Chain A
Amino acid sequence: MGMRKKHLQKRHLVELFMKTIMRVSFVIVAGALGLILWTIISRGLPALTWDMVTQVPKGGYYMGKEGGILNAIIGSAYLATGGTILAILLSLPIALYLKAYLGDSKWGGCVRLSLDVLWGIPSVVYGAFGFALMIVFGLRASLLAGIIVLALIELPIMTRAMDEVIRRMPEDLEHAALALGSTKFEVALRVVTRQMLPGIVTAVLLAFGRGIGDAASVLFTAGYTDRISTSLMRPTASLPLAVFFQLGSPYPEVQQRGYAAALILTIIVLAVSLGSRWLSARLNKYTVK
């Protein structure tokens, strides 16, 4: 009897111990997020001024004189918007094709595998790939090259996210539309796309957030400039590189502005992430339950 009681106690102690270290780990992970946000806000906020978001760099900006990073904010908006639009044009057909025509077939699995593998390729490799292509075609760093490389980076993220939600669509809806005589294409366009709109919007915004924050790929392909870009064929500035370059400066004032730029980037990315949650909840009202 004594033995048995001891055994009981031991395994319950183990249970308690595991539960405690699990809770502690959870607090550590959540705490890491808090710590990152706190670091960025507490160091970025003092350096954040109205000029930062409304002015382009003026003469001597990189030695601590006047100006802002409007060029980088607008450049990033161009890059991520262009990349996202291009990625939608490719992702939506792939996701719909996977649902409507391929299902869980072997070729469907192959496409999904290659999308997952593409997702895992680091952005520096995409950047180097873009750079290699640019040498071949004799192109210089430009907004267009940046947009194309970002579209390639966003493609797997967007398609897989769309695929995951589209797959979960109730089959009844599809069957009902097919029974009424719709073609598969009509079902895909008019039923699947509408019913799964909340998920599609989430997927698009997820990819947009990833695109706007990516530095290693635009470093190779989009270049950097102090002006607001006006042409697809000219280089453009971007927020991640504005952060990166300003932190590398020996001037403390410029480094401070790097922290402020990091704060701006973080705010944009978090707003997109939270906004997609809100938007998808709102759009969910208009779907068939």
Chain B
Amino acid sequence: MSETYEILTIKSNEQAEGRFTRPSVAARTRQDRAARRAFFIITLLPVALIIIVAVALLIRAWPILSAYQLSDLLFSEVWKPGEGKFGFWPFILGTVWVTVVGVVLSVPACLLVSIYLAEYAHAATRTIAKPVLDLLAAIPPVVYGVWGLLAIVPFVDDVLAPLSDRWLGSISIFAVNQPTGFGILAGGIVLAVMIAPLIISVVYEVFSTVPNDLRHASLAVGATQWQTIRNIVLPQVMPGIIAAVVLGASRALGETIAVLMVVGNVPQIPTSIFDSAYPLPALIANNYGEMMSIPLYDAALLGAALVLLVVILIFNILSTMVLQRMLRRKWA
């Protein structure tokens, strides 16, 4: 007993000494102020970084922006860097086609899944869903590309293209002009899966901002669960859903490696979802090696990156502002 007591006293003595050797209040306040200043400067970094990235790309792309009219660059169809012809139009259209197909394929399923998880699913289903979505989000783009190459391209070539050729061939956007499997549809399918975890988690979060009282009131007057969702919950969360879709689209716009591996990379104006396309990110990634050897080529490619950045910044800022407002809105 006494031994324990001794140990205890020694310990508390040490603690007491420790307290005396602590830095003074003045020193600690000084440390706090210094830390505050240092942290503040680091906090400027995210805001500054957006501006720095945009300005750096603008400066490097300036030679081509000053040599050609912006409308010529954006809307001209001829891409022959060797002859000094830099028309982004086929690449812009390629990006738009792949993104639209990806979003159209992804959004309906994503909405249904997030409504299911938010409104219907048991806790057990949710505990399965979380790791599934986390893993889908964790798989690297290049692995999605391998999957696209091994599974989706043959699937498009062997199954979807013949089906479409037989039943929908007369509609031009479903016509099979280049039967290889590589093309917009393959890229769109891969993108649809890649952006799904993002869209699902954002929409799920938006749904959980709606207070349960509203649901209970609707259910109490005899509405079915789906009627409650359609008439009460959905109108509340519509802006958030649109923001989630825009966010997913902007993710799809910039996806590089996975799309590049399955989309065919032919600089043409696509007319059908089975056509090959050549999106902007693929253009940048495929040609960085030789861009220093042709005049203005590097400026053109960094200009392409700038175009991509500007579009994505607009999409992102708008959707993030809507979401920030929605997710923090207070209910009386």
Does B256 lie within 8 Å of A122, measured CB to CB?
yes
Does A29 lie within 8 Å of B200, measured CB to CB?
yes
Does B29 lie within 8 Å of A183, measured CB to CB?
yes
B61 — nearest CB in chain A belongs to which residue? A132
A219 — nearest CB in chain B belongs to which residue? B285
How many angstroms between the C-alpha atoms of A170 and B261 in the bound complex?
Answer: 47
Contact A15 to B46, CB < 8 A, known contacts A36-B143, A129-B56: no
Per-residue contact bits, chain A 248-272, to B (CB 8 Å; 1 contact, 0 not): 0000000000110010011001101
B149 — nearest CB in chain A belongs to which residue? A247
Beta-carbon contacts under 8 Å, B33-62 to A: 35-36, 38-40, 42-43, 45-47, 49-50, 53, 56-57, 59-60
Does B120 lie within 8 Å of A122, measured CB to CB?
no
Does B31 lie within 8 Å of A183, measured CB to CB?
yes
Contact A122 to B147, CB < 8 A, known contacts A23-B116, A29-B136, A216-B257: no
A154 interface residue (CB < 8 Å to B) = no
Does A25 lie within 8 Å of B251, measured CB to CB?
no
Contact of A32 among B47, B196, B284 (CB under 8 A): B196
Instruction: Knowing that A96-B39, A269-B143 touch, tell me 16 more A-B residue pairs with CB under 8 angstroms.
Output: A19-B226, A30-B128, A97-B39, A104-B328, A115-B46, A124-B254, A127-B285, A132-B56, A159-B46, A213-B141, A215-B141, A215-B257, A216-B257, A240-B142, A244-B142, A265-B143
Contacts of A259 in B (CB 8 A): 146, 150
Does B143 lie within 8 Å of A184, measured CB to CB?
no
B109 interface residue (CB < 8 Å to A) = yes
Contacts of A127 in B (CB 8 A): 284-285, 288
B320 interface residue (CB < 8 Å to A) = yes
Stretch of B169-177, B269-277, B298-306 contacting A (4+ beta carbons < 8 Å):
B298-306
B281 interface residue (CB < 8 Å to A) = yes
Contact A26 to B116, CB < 8 A, known contacts A32-B136, A120-B251: yes
Does B50 lie within 8 Å of A117, measured CB to CB?
yes
Beta-carbon contacts under 8 Å, B195-231 to A: 196, 200, 224-227
Contact A101 to B39, CB < 8 A, known contacts A117-B316, A219-B285: yes
Name 13 A/B residue pairs within 8 A (Cβ), A-sorted. Answer: A11-B224, A97-B36, A97-B43, A110-B47, A114-B47, A114-B49, A116-B320, A122-B312, A124-B284, A124-B305, A183-B32, A212-B140, A213-B138
B140 — nearest CB in chain A belongs to which residue? A213
How many chain B residues sit at the interface, stated as a range, is 35 or more
A78 interface residue (CB < 8 Å to B) = no
Contact A97 to B141, CB < 8 A, known contacts A12-B224, A19-B120, A39-B151: no
Counting from the closest, the 3 A-B pairs by CB-CB distance are: A122-B254, A213-B140, A183-B32
Contact A262 to B227, CB < 8 A, known contacts A110-B47, A111-B47, A122-B254: no
Per-residue contact bits, chain B 103-133, to A (CB 8 Å; 1 contact, 0 not): 0000011101101110011000100110111
How many angstroms between the C-alpha atoms of A54 and B308 in the bound complex?
Answer: 40
A residues with a Cβ closer than 8 A to B are 11-12, 14-15, 18-19, 21-23, 25-26, 28-30, 32-33, 35-36, 39-40, 43, 90, 93-94, 96-98, 101-102, 104, 109-118, 120-129, 131-133, 135-136, 152, 155-156, 159, 181, 183-186, 188, 209-210, 212-216, 219-220, 240, 243-244, 247, 258-259, 262, 265-266, 269-270, 272-274, 277
How many angstroms between the C-alpha atoms of A123 and B324 in the bound complex?
Answer: 23
How many angstroms between the C-alpha atoms of A115 and B43 in the bound complex?
Answer: 10
Contacts of B121 in A (CB 8 A): 26
Shortest distance from the beta carbon of A199 to any chain B beta carbon, whole Å: 15
Contact A183 to B28, CB < 8 A, known contacts A40-B143, A240-B257: yes
Contact A36 to B147, CB < 8 A, known contacts A125-B53, A215-B142: yes
Does A266 lie within 8 Å of B256, measured CB to CB?
no
Contact A118 to B46, CB < 8 A, known contacts A185-B35, A277-B131: yes
Shortest distance from the beta carbon of A246 to any chain B beta carbon, whole Å: 10
Does A26 lie within 8 Å of B38, measured CB to CB?
no
Contact of A29 among B59, B109, B115 (CB under 8 A): B109
B73 interface residue (CB < 8 Å to A) = no
How many angstroms between the C-alpha atoms of A212 and B247 in the bound complex?
Answer: 23
